[in-house]
Structure 1
Amino acid sequence: MRDNTDPADLSIIEEVSRLVGVPCSARTVRSILSAYGDTLEQAVVAFRVATGERNAGDLDCRFTMLPPDLDPYAVALANGLIEATDHPVGSLLAELHAGFPIGFSGIDFGVVGGFKKTWSFFPLDDLKPLSELVALESMPASAAGNLDLFTRYGVADKVSLVGIDYRHRSVNLYFGAAPASVFEPGALTSLLRESGLPAPSERLLRFATGAFGIYATLTWDSPKVQRITIAAMTDDPLSLPVTIEPDIEDFLKNSPYRTDGHQFVYAITVAPRGEYHKLQSYYRWRPQVETTLLVPDSQ
């Protein structure tokens, strides 16, 4: 097989890995870059660091705005990046792409853990109600089970993207154009309580006042919402009303970027064991990313 690895992409991934103190497996990264080849040339590239045991020892790399007709999971299977499975996680992406128009796709991989996730973005003028997505045979039953919950809080009408985590067998549902009301302290506290998750910290409540995004993590193994994440886009995370964790602060001050301005997404996730923080730093950017993530209410 021809090696389609972009030396520049490999070099910058190794540089960021050194920055965060993670030993990059060049062989692992090279195999992924080679598998997707030319489809990565115009991709938006971001790196993500996070606190907590779940995220220790790896650096996540995210390539998005891949061609809409690409099946990134099929590519991973064909190139031995992941093993085939009879679990519904292995059939969900094909059903999703066959049943709905896709604006573009994406992948996540770790410099240690290898291929992890796929991302399917709906066109901005054709976001999907969760009530349609739950009809997919391979969608976790927990999505339908929590449809009424998400509807009551006004977020179920417009799902902007679906993430599928093959390692952890979970699904992320991103709620686009979420109403400002869901980020208010009372509503957010109530949503987390009804989801069976811990009450938000004061730090999260302050942070949520400037947030743009909310998404939920669901699995096939439990009827409960596993995690709720609140996210904010900014060019200066230190200006956010939240104390930045030291490890993340070091990364944001030194992470490289290949654009005129540096863009970040900062997020706080509420999980059964508490909260953890994530910072996504964009290395290669396109202006459309901001519109895609913020999803104007008019759409």
Structure 2
Amino acid sequence: MAGTAELEALYSDIEKAAGLLDEPCSRDAVWPILTAYADALPPHAQMAYRVATNSAGLDFRIASLAPDLHPYALALANGLTEKTDHPVGDLLSDIQDRFPLDYHGVDFGVVGGFKKTWTFFPLNNLQKVTELADLPSMPRSLSENLEFFTRNGLDGKTSLIGIDYPSRTLNIYFLGSPPEMREPDAVRSMMREHGLAEPSEQMLTLAQQATGYYTTLSWDSSKIERITFAVVVRDLDAFPAGVEVDPKIEKFAKDVPYTYAPATRKGIYGVTAAPSGEYYKLQSWYQMPPQMVQMLAPDAG
């Protein structure tokens, strides 16, 4: 549980982070979210910032929420989002009822407020897309692309599900994607298969280094809408050579506040292919549980 003083300190750091990007931070949007989840926060909850090169706007993620908590129901109960009859509103309950869970998280924009829930499966019990596709509220685009996922050795590797309520989209993350599917020729073929932009050399390089891979699906299309490769990195302000990044994002990566030892600092680069082109995401952890620090930086301390 986080008290008022801890929440005020957290809000202050989120506000500072937004200032590095010359963006406003709406207390009216952020404070109700912090207080709604305060009682559910363990002492060392996982928290992170997220910014993308294709859009303005800083997002913040709070994770480490207990598996028996329903973060979307809590958002509804606190007036953070509006109830919907769309299947997106049922998906988290369907997942929670049928699959073993490790923990949950939520994402919010510092201006727009509540956006997403994240549901993490145990690392020793990753799930099958073939079983997730049977959920009644799951978009048909998952079942219609099962051949792609199984052909590429991804069945049984689902590590988490992200549900975006305003955009009514779904992110399915895979841990440990096979090296052969991340080779340059395979990545080029994959993008052509799904009508996505031709990958740059920077994307091809990062794909080979990626530990995470995820796709974005929707209820309105049978297509895979976006594909992202994710890489855990130490040097957050060193974007891949040849990638044009707004100087404000570079400053953000260097100076954004965080709460743990500098020697253990980590972040994630994500490179995303969409029909309109390619863009990059940066996730920088604000706070990490001790076991996560040890997992990502085993030689630190």
TM-score by length of 1: 0.91
Which amino acid in the other structure matches residue 280 of structure 1? Q
Distance 1:292 1:217 in 2: 27
Task: Identify the residue that residue 169 of structure 2 maps to in structure 1.
Answer: 170
Q: Hey, what does 1:46 align to over in structure 2?
A: 48
Is the contact made by 1:39 and 1:66 (CA closer than 8 Å) also made in structure 2? yes
Please name the residue that 1:297 is paired with.
Answer: none
| Aligned residue number for residue 197 of structure 1 | 196
1:37 counterpart letter in structure 2: A
Does residue 271 of the first structure (1) align with residue 274 of the second (2)? yes
2:38 is the alignment partner of 1:37: yes
The alpha carbon displacement at 1:292 in A equals: 8.4
Q: String of CA shifts for 1:28-47, please: whole Å, max 9, x gaps.
A: 11100111112234311100
Q: Which residue of 2 aligns with 1:111?
A: 110
| Contact 2:21–2:249 under 8 Å retained in 1 | no
Mapped to 2, the partners of 1:262 and 1:69 lie a distance apart of 30
Assess, with a 3 A threshold, how the Cα gap between structure 1 residues 143 and 237 changes in structure 2: closer, same or farther.
same
Q: What is the alpha-carbon distance in structure 1 between the residues aligned to residue 233 and residue 290 of structure 2?
A: 14
| Residues 16 and 256, structure 2, Cα contact 8 Å, conserved in 1 | no
Once the two structures are overlaid, the 10-residue window that deviates more, 21-30 or 41-50, is 41-50
Please tell me whether the aligned partners of residues 226 and 271 of structure 1 are also in contact (alpha carbons under 8 angstroms).
yes
Letter in 2 for 1:224: K
Paired residue secondary structure (1:48): strand
Give the match for residue 296 of structure 1.
none
Residue equivalent to 2:233:
234
Q: CA deviation at 1:291?
A: 8.8
Corresponding position: 1:285 with 2:284: no
* 8 Å Cα contact 1:61-1:111 kept in structure 2: yes
Q: Tell me the amino acid that sits aligned with residue 48 of structure 1.
A: R
Find the residue that maps to 2:279 and give its secondary structure: strand
- Residue 213 of structure 2 aligns with which residue? 214
Inter-partner Cα distance in structure 1 for 2:30 and 2:279: 26
How many residue pairs were aligned?
A: 288
Give the 3 Å change call, closer, same or farther, for CA 36–272 of structure 1 in structure 2. Answer: same
| Structural mapping, 1:1-299, within 5 Å | 6-40=7-41, 41-52=43-54, 55-56=55-56, 58-237=57-236, 241-244=240-243, 245-246=245-246, 247-260=248-261, 261-289=264-292
Give the counterpart letter for 1:126 in structure 2: N
Ranges in structure 2 where 5+ consecutive residues have no aligned partner = 297-301
User: Would the alpha carbon gap of residues 184 and 238 (structure 1) be closer, same or farther in structure 2, given more than 3 Å must change?
Assistant: farther
Percent identity over the alignment is 49
Aligned partner of residue 46 in structure 1, secondary structure: strand
Q: Distance in 1 between matches of 2:85 and 2:265?
A: 41
Deviation at 1:255, TM superposition (A): 1.2
Displacement, 1:103?
0.2
Which whole-Å CA distance do the structure 2 matches of 1:289 and 1:153 have between them? 29
SS of the residue corresponding to residue 172 of structure 2 reads: strand
* CA distance in 1: counterparts of 2:160 and 2:234, whole angstroms: 23
- Matched residues in 2 for 1:22 and 1:289: separation? 30
Shift of residue 239 of structure 1?
5.5
Contact 1:207 1:240 in 2 (8 A): no
Q: Give the whole-Å Cα distance in 2 for the aligned partners of 1:63 and 1:289.
A: 14
Residue identity opposite 1:66 in structure 2: L
- Compute the displacement of 1:238 (Å): 5.1
Other structure's SS at 2:181 match: helix
Change (3 A) 1:20 1:169: same
Please give the alpha-carbon distance, in whole angstroms, between the structure 1 residues aligned to 2:73 and 2:273.
32
SS in 2 for 1:231: strand
Give the distance between the partners of 2:294 and 2:174, measured in 1 at CA. Answer: 14
* 1:178, distance to aligned residue in structure 2 (A): 1.1
Give, in angstroms, the shift of residue 241 of structure 1. Answer: 4.3
1-structure distance, mates of 2:209, 2:293: 15
Residue segments in structure 1 that go unaligned for 5+ positions in a row? 294-299
Letter in 1 for 2:29: T
Matched to 1:249, the amino acid is: E
Q: Against the structure 1 CA distance between its residues 79 and 38, is the aligned structure 2 distance closer, same or farther, given a 3 Å change threshold?
A: same
Q: CA shift at 1:213, angstroms?
A: 1.0
CA distance in 1, matches of 2:125, 2:112: 34
Deviation at 1:242, TM superposition (A): 3.6
The amino acid that maps onto 2:260 is T
Give the distance between the partners of 1:286 and 1:191, measured in 2 at CA: 36
